[in-house]
């Protein structure tokens, strides 16, 4: 699925890896970049933020709680 989103110009993609309990973030470093050229892996002690959503902050740990 990632390649399809990338091909269609999505600026940022978040994937939850429930087995590893991490959030994988793929984004373009600049508007119009030809591919996702920034990749992040966020674990339980980290917070997901996005340059596309000013003020957005989502702690990762609760995503995998319970």
Note the pLDDT tens digit of each residue in 27-62. Answer: 999 999 999 999 999 999 999 999 999 999 999 999
The mean per-residue pLDDT over the stretch 2-25 comes to: 97
Structure tokens at 57: 């902050």
Q: What residue ranges in 1-66 does DSSP mark as E strands? A: 12-17, 22-27, 38-42, 47-49, 57-59
Q: CA-to-CA distance for 27 and 10, rounded, in angstroms?
A: 8
Rounded to two decimals, what is the model's pTM?
0.92
6 three-state secondary structure: helix
Domain containing 44: what range?
A: 2-64
The number of distinct structural domains making up the chain is 1
Q: How confident is the model at residue 1 (pLDDT cuts 50, 70, 90)?
A: confident
């Amino acid at each position: 699925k990632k390649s399809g989103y990338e091909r269609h110009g999505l600026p940022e993609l978040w994937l939850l890896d429930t087995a590893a309990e991490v959030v994988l973030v793929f984004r373009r470093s600049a508007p119009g970049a030809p591919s996702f050229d920034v990749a992040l892996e966020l674990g339980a002690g980290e917070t997901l933020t996005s340059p596309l959503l000013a003020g957005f902050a989502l702690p990762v740990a609760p995503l995998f709680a319970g």
